[in-house]
Amino acid sequence: MSTVTEIAILVLAAFVGFEVISKVPNTLHTPLMSGTNAIHGIVLLGGLLLMSQASGVLEQVLLVIAVTFGTINVIGGFFVTDRMLEMFKRKDPPKDAESEEAEKREERV
């Protein structure tokens, strides 16, 4: 393929990706983020495997950038997923004033 064709495909893919993501409701963004962790893990593995075959400096720099951004996406995805799961954990019921005073008395003794 020629360079112009590859750039056209990149621009069209970016446009279509933006349009698809902008139509997703806010309630689905977090589950989609956790689902893309697996995809970015595959990107990382592919980038690491290709690093041994890179022949030029430009290829090596692009692979380092791809692996870096993939790592950021994977780590960020895990943080978002962890935060989402924290929302579903039960919280301890609030303590009343009498039980707090009793605990303080027990600590003094």
37-78 pLDDT, tens digit each: 777 788 888 888 888 888 889 988 988 998 898 888 888 878
In a domain, residue 9? The reply is no
Query: Of 7-16, 44-53, 95-104, where does mean pLDDT reach its minimum?
Result: 95-104
In a domain, residue 43? The reply is yes
Q: Which domain holds residue 54?
A: 26-88
Alpha-carbon separation of residue 63 from 8, 10, 30, 51, 92 (angstroms) = 21, 17, 28, 7, 47
In a domain, residue 4? The reply is no
Number of domains comprising the chain: 1
Residues 6+ apart with CB under 8 A from 70: 40, 43, 44, 47
Q: Which two tokens stand for residue 87?
A: 């929302």
In a domain, residue 33? The reply is yes
In a domain, residue 109? The reply is no
In a domain, residue 54? The reply is yes
In a domain, residue 79? The reply is yes
Q: What is the pTM of this model?
A: 0.53
What single letter denotes the amino acid at residue 56? G
In a domain, residue 11? The reply is no
Q: What are phi and psi of 89, to 5 degrees?
A: -80, 150
